[in-house]
Chain A
Amino acid sequence: MKTKHYKSIAFIVLALILGIPVHAEDLRKIVSLSGSWRFSIGDDNKWASPSFDDSGWDQIRVPGKWEDQGYNDYNGYAWYRRTFRINDIPSDSPIFLILGRIDDVDEVYLNGREIGKSGKFPPDYKSAYDRTRKYIIPKELINANGDNVISVKVYDSYLEGGIVEGPAGIYIDEDNELLALNFSGKWKFQTGDNKGWKYADYNDEGWTSIEVPSVWESQGYEDYDGYGWYRLKFSLPQNFTTGELYLSLGKIDDIDDVYLNGEHIGNVYDLRKDFGYRNSGGEYNVRRVYKIHEGLLNRNGSNIIAVRVYDEQGLGGIYEGPVGIMSAENARRYKNRHHNDYGNRYNSFWEYMFNKFFGNDNSNNDNYDNDF
Chain B
Amino acid sequence: MIIQIMIIMITIFNKNMIRNLFLSLIICLPNLGGKTFAREGNLVLLQSLEGRWQFSIGMNDEWTSPKFNDTSWESIRVPSPWEDQGYNGYNGYAFYRKKITISSKYRDRMLYLNMGYIDDVDEVYLNGKKIGSTGSFPPNYSTAYNAERIYYIPAEYINFDGSNQVAVKVYDAEQQGGIVSGDIGLYSGRNSVNLDVNLQSTWKFQPGDDPRRKEPNFDDNGWSEIFVPGKWEDQGYRDYDGYAWYRKSFVFKTTNENEKMVLLMGKIDDIDQVYINGTFVGSTGTFPSRHGEEASTGQEYQAFRGYYIPVGLLKKDQKNIIAVRVLDTGGDGGIYEGPVGLITQTKYIDYWRKIKRDNN
Tell me the A residues contacting B by CB distance below 8 Å: 1-3, 9, 12-13, 16-17, 40-44, 58, 69-77, 122-123, 125, 157-159, 349
Is B36 an interface residue, CB under 8 A from the partner? no
Knowing that A1-B300, A42-B308, A76-B262 are A-B contacts, what are 17 other residue pairs whose CB atoms are under 8 Å apart, sorted by A's residue number? Answer: A2-B298, A9-B12, A16-B4, A16-B8, A17-B5, A41-B352, A42-B345, A42-B348, A43-B260, A58-B353, A70-B355, A70-B356, A75-B303, A122-B307, A123-B281, A158-B299, A349-B2
Q: Which residues of A contact B29 (CB under 8 A)?
A: none
B303-360 contacts to A (CB < 8 Å): 303-308, 345, 348-349, 352-353, 355-357, 359-360
Expressed in whole angstroms, the minimum distance between the Cβ of A357 and any Cβ of chain B is: 17
**Complex interface bits, B3-38 against A, C-beta within 8 A gives 1, otherwise 0:** 011001100100000000000000000000000000
| Interface SS of B by simple majority | mixed
A44 and B352 contact, Cβ closer than 8 Å, known pairs A1-B300, A70-B359, A122-B283:
no
Q: Which residues of B contact A70 (CB under 8 A)?
A: 355-357, 359-360
Pairwise interchain contact B359-A123, C-beta atoms closer than 8 A: no
Expressed in whole angstroms, the minimum distance between the Cβ of B359 and any Cβ of chain A is: 5
Expressed in whole angstroms, the minimum distance between the Cβ of B3 and any Cβ of chain A is: 12
Q: Which residues of B contact A75 (CB under 8 A)?
A: 284, 303-306
Expressed in whole angstroms, the minimum distance between the Cβ of B12 and any Cβ of chain A is: 6
A71 and B8 contact, Cβ closer than 8 Å, known pairs A2-B299, A3-B298, A44-B260:
no
**Cα of A73 to Cα of B40 in the assembled complex, Å:** 12
Tell me the B residues contacting A by CB distance below 8 Å: 1-2, 4-5, 8-9, 12, 41, 260, 262, 280-285, 296, 298-300, 303-308, 345, 348-349, 352-353, 355-357, 359-360
Which residue of B41, B298, B345 contacts A1 across the interface (Cβ within 8 Å)?
A: B298
Q: Which residues of A contact B281 (CB under 8 A)?
A: 122-123
Pairwise interchain contact B5-A158, C-beta atoms closer than 8 A: no
Q: Which residues of A contact B345 (CB under 8 A)?
A: 42-44
Q: Which residues of A contact B359 (CB under 8 A)?
A: 70, 72
Q: Which residues of A contact B355 (CB under 8 A)?
A: 70-72
Pairwise interchain contact A123-B348, C-beta atoms closer than 8 A: no
**Cα of A58 to Cα of B9 in the assembled complex, Å:** 41
Q: Which residues of B contact A125 (CB under 8 A)?
A: 283
Pairwise interchain contact B5-A16, C-beta atoms closer than 8 A: yes
**Cα of A75 to Cα of B352 in the assembled complex, Å:** 11
Expressed in whole angstroms, the minimum distance between the Cβ of A343 and any Cβ of chain B is: 11
Pairwise interchain contact B304-A73, C-beta atoms closer than 8 A: yes
Which residue of B282, B304, B360 contacts A122 across the interface (Cβ within 8 Å)?
A: B282
Q: Which residues of A contact B349 (CB under 8 A)?
A: 40-42
Selected A-B contacts with CB under 8 Å, 18 pairs? A2-B298, A16-B5, A16-B8, A41-B349, A43-B308, A43-B345, A58-B353, A70-B356, A71-B352, A72-B355, A73-B304, A74-B304, A122-B281, A122-B283, A122-B307, A158-B299, A158-B303, A349-B1
Which residue of B8, B41, B300, B348 contacts A158 across the interface (Cβ within 8 Å)?
A: B300
**Cα of A179 to Cα of B289 in the assembled complex, Å:** 49
**Cα of A76 to Cα of B262 in the assembled complex, Å:** 10
Task: Find the B residue at minimum CB distance from A41.
Answer: B352
A58 and B356 contact, Cβ closer than 8 Å, known pairs A16-B8, A75-B304:
yes
Q: Which residues of A contact B304 (CB under 8 A)?
A: 73-75
**Cα of A158 to Cα of B265 in the assembled complex, Å:** 13
**Cα of A367 to Cα of B261 in the assembled complex, Å:** 47
Q: Which residues of A contact B4 (CB under 8 A)?
A: 16
Q: Which residues of A contact B352 (CB under 8 A)?
A: 41, 71, 74
Task: Find the B residue at minimum CB distance from A123.
Answer: B280
Expressed in whole angstroms, the minimum distance between the Cβ of B105 and any Cβ of chain A is: 23
**Cα of A247 to Cα of B299 in the assembled complex, Å:** 50
**Cα of A1 to Cα of B298 in the assembled complex, Å:** 5
**Cα of A70 to Cα of B190 in the assembled complex, Å:** 13
**Cα of A233 to Cα of B276 in the assembled complex, Å:** 49
Q: Which residues of B contact A123 (CB under 8 A)?
A: 280-282
Q: Which residues of B contact A16 (CB under 8 A)?
A: 4-5, 8
Pairwise interchain contact A159-B303, C-beta atoms closer than 8 A: yes
Expressed in whole angstroms, the minimum distance between the Cβ of B268 and any Cβ of chain A is: 11
Q: Which residues of B contact A77 (CB under 8 A)?
A: 308
Task: Find the B residue at minimum CB distance from A127.
Answer: B286
**Cα of A318 to Cα of B349 in the assembled complex, Å:** 40
Pairwise interchain contact A158-B260, C-beta atoms closer than 8 A: no
Q: Which residues of A contact B1 (CB under 8 A)?
A: 349
Pairwise interchain contact B298-A76, C-beta atoms closer than 8 A: no
Pairwise interchain contact B296-A158, C-beta atoms closer than 8 A: no
Q: Which residues of B contact A72 (CB under 8 A)?
A: 355, 359
Pairwise interchain contact B299-A76, C-beta atoms closer than 8 A: no
**Cα of A40 to Cα of B12 in the assembled complex, Å:** 36
Q: Which residues of A contact B9 (CB under 8 A)?
A: 13
Expressed in whole angstroms, the minimum distance between the Cβ of A112 and any Cβ of chain B is: 20
Q: Which residues of B contact A76 (CB under 8 A)?
A: 262, 306-308
Q: Which of B282, B307, B352, B360 has the most chain A CB atoms inside 10 A of its CB?
A: B352
**Cα of A2 to Cα of B12 in the assembled complex, Å:** 15
Pairwise interchain contact A1-B306, C-beta atoms closer than 8 A: no
**Cα of A16 to Cα of B2 in the assembled complex, Å:** 10
Q: Which residues of B contact A157 (CB under 8 A)?
A: 284, 303
Q: Which residues of A contact B308 (CB under 8 A)?
A: 42-43, 76-77
Task: Find the A residue at minimum CB distance from B284.
Answer: A158
**Cα of A41 to Cα of B355 in the assembled complex, Å:** 12
Expressed in whole angstroms, the minimum distance between the Cβ of B110 and any Cβ of chain A is: 13
Expressed in whole angstroms, the minimum distance between the Cβ of A12 and any Cβ of chain B is: 8
Pairwise interchain contact B300-A71, C-beta atoms closer than 8 A: no
Expressed in whole angstroms, the minimum distance between the Cβ of A356 and any Cβ of chain B is: 15
**Cα of A159 to Cα of B356 in the assembled complex, Å:** 17
Q: Which of B2, B5, B353 has the most chain A CB atoms inside 10 A of its CB?
A: B353
